[in-house]
Structure 1
Amino acid sequence: MSLPTVDTTVTYPSGAVESTGIVLHVEELPDGTRAVLLDTTAVHPVDAGWPDQGADRAVLTAADGTAYGLLDAVVAATDGTALFLGADIPVKKGTEGWAFTVAHLLPAGASVAEGEPVRIEVDRAYRAALSAGHTACHLASLALNRQLAGAWKKDVQPDAAGNPNFDALAIETSTITEHGSTDVYRLGKSLRRKGFMPEALLQDLPAAEAGINAILADWTATGAKVRIECDGEGLTDLRRWTVDLPEGTVHIPCGGTHAQSLAETGGIQVTLTADAGDGAVTLTMDTICVQPAG
Structure 2
Amino acid sequence: MEIGGSTLVGYPAGEVRGRSAVVGTVPVGDRYGTIVAETPFHPLDHTWPDQPADEGTIGGLAVVDCVTGAVEEGGETVHLGGDIPVRRGTPGWNWLVVHVTDGPVPGREVELVVDEARRRALSAGHTACHLTALALNAALAGRWRKEIPADGLGHPDFDQTAITSSRILPDGSQDVYRLGKSLRRKGFTAEGLAEDLPEIAQRVNDRLKAWIAADAPVWIDSPGSELTARRTWHCGLPEGEVAIPCGGTHLSRTSRLGSVTATLELSGDGSELTMHTVVGH
Deviations 1:232-254 (A, max 9, x none): 11100011111101110001110
* Cross-structure match for 1:40: 38
1:77 aligned onto 2:76: no
Which residue identity does 2:213 align to in structure 1? A
* Cross-structure match for 1:155: 147
Instruction: Mark the CA change 1:164 to 1:105 in structure 2 (over 3 Å): closer, same or farther.
Output: same
1:186 aligned onto 2:196: no
* Cross-structure match for 2:240: 248
Q: Is the 8 A contact 1:151 1:200 kept in 2?
A: no
1:93 aligned onto 2:93: no
Structure 1 residues not aligned, in runs of 5+ = 62-66
1:259 aligned onto 2:251: yes
* Cross-structure match for 2:202: 210
Structure 2 residues not aligned, in runs of 5+ = none
Please state whether the residue corresponding to 1:219 is helix, strand or coil.
helix
1:283 aligned onto 2:278: no
Q: Is the 8 A contact 1:240 1:253 kept in 2?
A: yes
Structure 2 counterparts to residues 3-18 of structure 1, below 5 A: 3-18=2-17
Q: How many residue pairs are counted as aligned between the two chains?
A: 279
Shift of 1:140: 0.2
Please state whether the residue corresponding to 2:267 is helix, strand or coil.
strand
Structure 1 vs Structure 2 CA RMSD: 1.2
Identity of aligned residues (%): 43
Which residue identity does 1:73 align to in structure 2? C
Which residue identity does 2:30 align to in structure 1? G
Which residue identity does 2:5 align to in structure 1? V
Please state whether the residue corresponding to 1:37 is helix, strand or coil.
strand
* Cross-structure match for 2:167: 175
Please state whether the residue corresponding to 1:276 is helix, strand or coil.
coil
Please state whether the residue corresponding to 1:287 is helix, strand or coil.
strand
TM-score calculated relative to the size of structure 2:
0.96
Deviations 1:83-116 (A, max 9, x none): 11111111112212111110111114x1435xx1
* Cross-structure match for 2:125: 133
